[in-house]
Structure 1
Amino acid sequence: MASYYKDTNTKGQTIWYVKYRRADGKPTTKRSFKTKSAAQKWYREYQVSVDHYGKALNTRITFRDVYDKWWSAYEKSVLDTTAHKTKQIFKNHILPALGDYRITDINVSILQRQVNYWSRKLVKNDCQLYTNLVLRRAVQLGYIHVNPMASVIKPKKKARASINNFFNKDEFTDFLEYLKQDYEDSNPRAFMMLWLAAATGMRRGEVLGLEWNCVDLKNRTISIKRSLKRSSHAYIGSPKNRSSVRTIAIDEATTNYLRRWKKQQHDTMKYFNFDTYKIKDQLVFSTYNKNKPLPEPAADKYINQITSEHGMKHVTFHGLRHTHATLLVEGNTNVKAVSERLGHSSMETTLRVYVNNDKRPNHEVADTFGKLMFSKSSQK
């Protein structure tokens, strides 16, 4: 049973409130109804909730509270790297937008507006996916009856213009010249890192996680077995997937540069009391003072300095992998061989993601087909 009372607030306005017992038997009060009928309507709906679901909705629980409960189970079910990326998505995008909302106040309109915003601002739509998982958990815990995300319409993203995150042949030649000019003598570690990425198409994590025991300078091969990973901290772990474990050949110039860098690294590191020749799992690229993995941003920093200094098109460190694949295919290298070199599970991935033709008009193709047309017409 509930009791209804009339009172006056600080502004002199008449308000109604209802006293009742919660589902757990404890007395409580719900205030600030404008009319008695509004208070009665609210209590009837409350009773339906208790009768139908066996418990009342907890209106004090926030989205952040539910997230904390969901996260404690989720982080144990995925890899450390996945957990790290997911936590960043919540920290940077989802919790700032929804974290302080009471879970019962989140409706379709709020979510649709937020999902539309994420769709415009972010490349991937992971925010909607993870928000949905938290709201599903809220339903399971009985905080809400229905997941409002189920009624949100997923925005159709406009097709993005092709991002040319790679160098064409001429640009690549210029880049290598600038790389030698800027880094070969002054920063041999940065030189070797960028040269190796360009010469092999290795992923950034594979380059930063490469150990000397995986480099065979005699037979000119690199065995890719490890990769730099990041969760709450950086560590060396397994590569991206099964097909990423591979052995690739390296050209003679790259082999000679690696041989030179191995000695340069040793000579530098001995001043910090590290004998890199005797360390079994010595990284090819590491910090000098502590001999630890280099932070991932360092790789992009080095290439950004070159492109900015020389007014070149902006290409990321990952763009060197893109460049490697594109130029190999344009040079008529077998796509299957390129795919295996990159560590892809299929040739379709290589063609779809990494291989882009130069966007300049290809007169050779046009001339070849024109000759075909001319030869056919001349026979008549």
Structure 2
Amino acid sequence: MAHIRVRPNGRIQFDLHLYGCRFREGTKMIATPKNLASAKATLKQMNAEIDLGSFQYRDYFPKSKKVAKFEQLQRDKYPDRQYPFFDTFANQWFERQKSKWKNSYRDTVRLTLDKYLIPNFGNTLVNELTLTHVDFFRQGLVEGEKSDGTRLLSNRRINNILWPLVAIVSLAAEECKFEYPLRRYRSLKEEKAESHPMTINEVRQFLLHVPKEWKDYFIVRFWTGMRSCEVHGLEWQHIDFDHRLIRIRQNWVNGETCDVKTPKSRRELKMCDTVFAAFKRMKDAGLAESNFVFNGPSGTPLETHFVSRKLWYPTLRKAKLALRRPYETRHTAAVLHIAAHENPLYVSQMLGHSDTRLLFEVYAPYVANASRTDGQAFDSLMQSEGLA
């Protein structure tokens, strides 16, 4: 049972006796009549749940160090439960699945389990997890805010957090033989991806202000549209000067090389004169002594965080350009290639897309005149027929 007592400093304290142990949780509430009434209401709810056997310590004291002790006592009390707890099954699921994933994705899933899912559902039996639990959890993620009042997590990030939960419960229902509770679960509608490519003049300004030793690095990014991980994983063996080709064969992610993102990402890029000259300058400067084309101060391949903090954002500020992600070099390359009337199929293959659909969905609005999707041709026809 649970009780209320007032400490010598005048603050309210909850005193609980659970599974033969005493738990004391202090509060910051001074024992005023109003606060006492509120505490008694909470106490009444606690005792009701204790009587029903549904009390969960973390629901009332989520940041308490005693949560783990309570949950262990709870499990020890009922060792012969038919179904496993969520955290036990989730960890087993992770061990079974991790060999199928790249190391970077494996680390992302592990972080999702440890930061979000296990703290919230760990002490719930897999067969007792309901759609209501998931809805309340997801709503809490949706309502999360940064210090400036903007949303903490996007719908896409929230969907990615909940995907392992859905997979775990689905597998548990199949293997433990209980009714799958998330049949009516639907993912959040994801926001349309926005891009903020640079204009030709902005690219010129950026290259004028970037440190001289890094100019060729950004020329390669602006001219080819390669992903950060592709550029950083580029080795000199992938540069074919004889045939003027860049062979995309691997990525550099979290301090190690790994396979490219998709089968279409494994490709050959033709080097124009500007890109060819950039690689030739780097080779003539002795940079080819390292296996990797681009290396950081420590001599290891470049890391995305280093490029962002030390190169990209400082140069944008110096050039007085609007702040945007380093990934916009890729968007910029796509837009400027379309604006230059390059074949859309060529541009799509250059970027490693599976087809041209994404190319026009994302980038066409920025180059309407070049892609002839601004309605001017239709308007000219109507005017020539005297209908406008």
Report if TM-score (shorter chain) is over 0.5: yes
Query: Which residue of structure 2 aligns with residue 177 of structure 1?
Result: 205
**5+ long unaligned stretches in structure 1:** 1-8, 12-16, 18-31, 40-54, 267-275
Equivalent of 2:359 in 350, 364, 380: 350
User: How far apart are 1:285 and its partner, in Å?
Assistant: 0.8
Name 2:222's counterpart in structure 1.
198
Q: Does 1:99 align with 2:122?
A: yes
Residues 236-275 of structure 1 mapped to structure 2, 5 A cutoff: 236-264=257-285, 266=287
Instruction: Give the alignment partner of residue 236 of structure 2, picking from 194, 197, 212.
Output: 212
In structure 2, give the amino acid aligned to 1:253: T
Shift of 1:211: 0.9
Distance 1:305 1:135 in 2: 46
Select the residue among 295, 307, 318 that pairs with 1:299. 307
Instruction: Look up the SS of the partner of 2:365 in the other structure.
Output: coil
Question: Is 1:131 paired with 2:170?
Answer: no
- Matched with 2:98 is 75
Relative to structure 1, the CA distance from residue 359 to residue 224 in structure 2 (aligned partners, 3 Å threshold; closer, same or farther) is closer
- 1:359 CA drift (Å): 8.2
Q: CA deviation at 1:237?
A: 2.9
Q: Are the aligned partners of 2:155 and 2:188 in contact in 1 as well (CA < 8 Å)?
A: no
* Alignment correspondent of 2:64: none
Retained in 2: the 8 A contact 1:235–1:293?
A: no
1:371–1:257 CA distance, 2 compared to 1 (3 A): same
Separation in 1 of the partners of 2:276 and 2:346? Answer: 20
**TM-score scaled by length of structure 1:** 0.68
The whole-number CA distance in structure 2 between the counterparts of 1:119 and 1:111 is 12
Q: CA deviation at 1:372?
A: 2.3
Who wins on radius of gyration, i.e. which is larger? Answer: 1
Identity of aligned residues (%): 16
Contact 2:209/2:319 (8 A) holds in 1: no
Cα distance, 1:183 vs structure 2: 1.2
The amino acid of 1:256's aligned partner reads A
> Unaligned 5+ residue runs, structure 2?
4-18, 20-45, 54-78, 144-152
Q: Could you say if the C-alpha distance between residues 297 and 57 of structure 1 is closer, same or farther in structure 2, counting changes exceeding 3 Å?
A: same
The question of 1:64 aligning with 2:87 is answered yes
Distance in 2 (CA, whole Å) between partners of 1:342 and 1:217 is 21
C-alpha deviation, 1:103, in angstroms: 4.4
Shift in CA distance, 130/317, structure 1 to aligned 2, threshold 3 Å: same
1:88-107 CA deviation, whole Å, 9 max, x = no partner? 33234333433354546533
Partner residue of 1:146?
179
Q: What is the deviation of 1:336?
A: 0.8
Deviation at 1:200, TM superposition (A): 0.6
What are the superposed Cα offsets for residues 246-299 of structure 1, whole Å, 9 maximum, x if unpaired?
A: 221222222222222234454xxxxxxxxx43x5xx10012344x322222223
Verify the 8 A CA contact 2:294 2:301 in the aligned structure 1: yes
The Cα shift of 1:79 comes to 3.4
2:137 corresponds to which of 100, 114, 121: 114
Q: Which amino acid counterpart does residue 338 of structure 1 have in structure 2?
A: V
- The aligned counterpart of 2:253 is 229
Q: Distance in 1 between matches of 2:375 and 2:99?
A: 57
Given the alignment of the two structures, is residue 85 of structure 1 paired with residue 127 of structure 2, yes or no? no
Equivalent in 166, 183, 186 of residue 197 of structure 2: 166
Task: Tell me the CA shift for residue 240 of structure 1.
Answer: 2.0
Distance 1:99 1:359 in 2: 50
Q: Does 1:373 align with 2:382?
A: yes
> For residue 194 of structure 1, what is the amino acid of its counterpart?
F
Give, in angstroms, the shift of residue 378 of structure 1. Answer: 8.2
Contact kept in structure 1, 2:344 and 2:356, CA below 8 Å: yes
> How many angstroms apart in 2 are the aligned matches of 1:342 and 1:284?
20
Evaluate the alpha carbon distance shift between residue 92 and residue 191 of structure 1 in structure 2; reply closer, same or farther with a 3 A threshold: farther
Quote how far apart the aligned CAs of 1:361 are.
Answer: 9.8
RMSD between superposed Cα atoms in Å? 3.7
Whole-angstrom CA distance in 1 between matches of 2:329 and 2:109: 27
Instruction: Indicate conservation of the 8 Å contact 1:165/1:314, yes or no.
Output: no
The residue type equivalent to 2:207 in the other structure is: L
CA shift, 1:75, in A, is 0.9
C-alpha distance in 2, partners of 1:218/1:38?
77
Question: Are 1:229 and 1:236, in contact at CA under 8 Å, matched by a contact in 2?
Answer: yes
Instruction: Establish whether residue 313 from structure 1 lines up as the match of residue 322 from structure 2.
Output: yes
Query: By how many angstroms is 1:161 displaced?
Result: 5.8
In structure 2, distance between residues paired with 1:117 and 1:80 = 29
* Partner-residue secondary structure (3-state), 1:341: helix
Partners of 1:359 and 1:284 in 2: how far apart? 32
SS at the partner of 2:295? coil
Bigger RCO of structures 1 and 2 (CA < 8 A, at least 6 apart) = 1
- Residues in 2 aligned to 1:87 and 1:372: alpha-carbon distance in whole angstroms: 59
Distance 2:333 2:178 in 1: 53
Deviation at 1:238, TM superposition (A): 2.8
TM-score by length of 2: 0.67
